[in-house]
Structure 1
Amino acid sequence: MENMSIPGSAPPVCNDSVDFYSLTSGNHTNLNCTLPPEFPFYADLYIILPVIYSVICAVGLTGNTAVIYVILKAPKMKTVTNMFILNLAIADDLFTLVLPINIAEHLLHYWPFGEVLCKVILSIDHYNIFSSIYFLTVMSIDRYLVVLATVRSKRMPYRTYRAAKIISLCVWILVILIVMPFTVFAGVYINPNDERKSCVLSFPSPESLWFKASRIYTLILGFAIPVSTICILYTMMLYKLRNMRLNSNAKALDKAKKKVTIMVFIVLAVCLFCWTPFHLSTIVALTTDLRTTPLLIGISYFITSLSYANSCLNPFLYAFLDDSFRKAFKKMLECRPA
């Protein structure tokens, strides 16, 4: 994610150590590192990684495209929540569309696509880090406001489909601004030893300081702030639901509370399961100095694949688990007589 180097090939090494974050992103920055010639090539990774990325790409494209199609085509699906789900699916679809380029680079062992595409792909790669969690944060805020209005028996005239469109556009703009520094520093680096090209982040001097700053920047804006916000909102939401006085429809409300509790657990568990290892690797990168080993490389690619997998899991979490979505999707697939 961090850059587009050569996953599966010998990772960069500086003073016999390797940055764990660079490995977990499957890429590296240009920190004047060189590739040790004695580092063995792992044939298993060469085969397994393209297969994993291909599965993620196929499932992600199918699931997210189905979400987009149903929401756009089914009139009853045009709700505020589904507008956020639609934008989340578009962001995930955009990322899965560029995975074939990651696969091609992995198989070719160099970057053949030029400077412009390097900036585009690296930007989309970083966009994936921020987009899902930010749209999830917006959905959490929306759900909290709905629960708050329900508890207070108030209407929400400002919560409209048009307002959801405007908020979604603002999220896109915000994430683009956050990712812009990475776009500026992205470029094709030519290794002076073998003239092999890599799509990397080339920071100005002092490179190590810029590198650490970029890790902290990503950790705070891409994980710490949004996840903290989500946790606080869901905690407050569950607290208000538990303390809500039940009326004559007590059973129905109690069932709804259980559904919300389960959904909250699934959303938070899957999001944290997929992204926490990736961001924890940043802390490891900033506090330790690890040597390159087969075990470390295996862990790094597992963490990368796990974070990538979040893009294909989102459709099932936010759409396919919803009864109204399933009904709309089945209706779209019905064969109508001429």
Structure 2
Amino acid sequence: MSSKEGAWPESTSSSSWDTTSSSSWDTTSSSPWEEPELRAPAAWLACVYVCVCVCGVFGNCLVCVAMVRLERLRSSTSVYVMSLALADALFMLSLPLLVAQELLQRWPFGDAACRLVVVLDGMNQFTSAACLTAMSLDRLLATCGPPVAQTWRSPRRAAMLTVLLATVSMTPVLPVAAHFSSQSGVCAPGEELVEGSGGLAFLGGAFCLGFALPLAVMLLSYGALCFRRSRDMMGTNERQVTAMLASVAVAFFVCWAPFYTINFLSVQEVMPSEPWGAGLFITAFQVCVCLSYSWSCCAPLLYAAFSPRFRSHFKTLLCPRKTAHTTRPTHDTHDTHTHVYDLSDSHTQVNELSHTHSHMYDTHITPQQPTQV
């Protein structure tokens, strides 16, 4: 877990890691980073965190309701989308504590709350990366996999895999969270975690497990899908779903790559010595942290931007009366079912439509069969 509890700029005398903000840079009295003019304004950071929290909770809860109420979790894609939204929404609940730390310039909630925030942060990062990886492989199976692979993509198996991934993500998080405390006045890791090469090992492990490895799998999967699309072997629905999920993967890279880059620079003590350079470095660090937080609220926006189905879902949930007046029932069976299974792949649509039409045919012809005497 390398998120906001990761490496912060080290001073010349001791390391000063922070969970979220520059407010913990006052843990060492000799640190050049604790000059008031070098700190990012706490009020500005608190406002950013509040906006991210409100947008993240609202957007991800809206996605969860849409997946359960409207999509009814009838495809593996909808299960992964809901799992990603649920992980982001749970993490957003810890942001008010971080806002309080920014405004109070201290951590008043005790060690238990500090470790809970670390656990939620780490679970969010690893579970999000794992869900994105699973979605990219699921798309690859849906469009390029053999017919027998479609039986592996049931919603039930997707839910079981998601639970397994969330459980496994706790493995690297819990030992690290045990080293966090608020004894220094802020929620920060202990010296045993950051002294010597511990900081680099901690950050490097989180980078590999939570960013580099998932990103490599996503690049390979979506690269194969782009090759298939270039040969016109994908249907319209498959292209829309693939584009939506690929945009989320791109956002994952944009939000997390700057954070890891500046953290590695901080751990390697690559920092300017001039006061103006130090202030610029701290500002850049805070921007990267805010960008990594924004990852948890950008997925719903991308769903609405790239998926007509999600736009319809959001409109139905936010404006139910207007939608009820403007929507008219249709008797076009093909269009109706294609619209319902928008998040599924063509194989799922064909199989379920065939079953539906077969069932409808049997229902209609049964009363017309002659009665045997």
The TM-score bracket by the shorter chain reads 0.7 to 0.9
Contact 1:67 1:319 in 2 (8 A): no
Q: CA deviation at 1:289?
A: 3.0
CA distance in 2, matches of 1:12, 1:216: 16
The yes-or-no answer on 1:103 pairing with 2:84 is no
User: What SS does structure 1 have at the residue aligned with 2:186?
Assistant: strand
User: One-letter code of the match for 1:88?
Assistant: L
TM-score by length of 2: 0.74
**Correspondence 1:1-338 to 2 at 5 A:** 1-3=3-5, 13-15=10-12, 22=17, 26=21, 33-34=28-29, 36=31, 39-41=35-37, 45-149=41-145, 152=146, 156-190=150-184, 197-204=185-192, 207-243=195-231, 253=234, 255=236, 259=240, 262-263=243-244, 266-291=247-272, 293-318=278-303, 321-332=306-317, 333-335=319-321
**Do the aligned partners of residues 24 and 205 (structure 1) sit closer, same or farther apart at CA in structure 2, a change above 3 Å counting?**
closer
- 1:263 and 1:3, CA in 2 relative to 1: closer, same or farther beyond 3 A? closer
User: Which blocks of at least 5 consecutive residues in structure 1 are unaligned?
Assistant: 6-10, 191-196, 247-252
Given that 2:143 and 2:238 are in contact with CA atoms closer than 8 Å, whether structure 1 keeps it comes out as no
Give 1:304's aligned amino acid.
Answer: V
Amino acid at match of 2:11: C
Taking the aligned partners of 1:334 and 1:205, their CA distance within structure 2 comes to: 52
**Pair 85,27 (structure 1): closer, same or farther in 2 beyond 3 Å:** farther
TM-score normalised to the size of structure 1? 0.81
- Distance in 2 (CA, whole Å) between partners of 1:268 and 1:4 is 22
Displacement of 1:85 in angstroms is 0.7
What amino acid sits opposite 1:46 in the alignment?
A: A
Q: What's the C-alpha RMSD, in Å, of the aligned pairs?
A: 3.2
What CA distance in whole angstroms lies between the structure 2 residues aligned with 1:75 and 1:255?
Answer: 19
Q: Which moved more, 1:259-268 or 1:280-289?
A: 259-268
Post-superposition offset of 1:290 = 1.2
Give the whole-Å Cα distance in 1 for the aligned partners of 2:4 and 2:270.
Answer: 18
Counterpart-to-counterpart distance in 2, 1:119 and 1:23: 13
Deviation string 1:111-133 (CA, Å, 9 cap, x unpaired) is: 11011111101221222332222
Higher RCO structure (Cα 8 Å, ≥6 apart): 1
Q: CA deviation at 1:217?
A: 1.1
Taking structure 1 as reference, are residues 334 and 300 closer, same or farther at Cα in structure 2, changes over 3 Å only? same
Change (3 A) 1:35 1:46: farther
Letter in 1 for 2:297: C
Report if the CA contact (8 A) 2:64-2:85 is conserved: yes
Residues 69/166 of structure 1: CA separation in 2 closer, same or farther (3 Å cut):
same
Aligned amino acid, residue 179 of structure 1: V
What's the counterpart of residue 194 of structure 1? none
Deviations 1:40-67 (A, max 9, x none): 2568612211111111111111100111
Number of aligned residue pairs: give it. Answer: 314
Q: What is the match of residue 193 of structure 1?
A: none
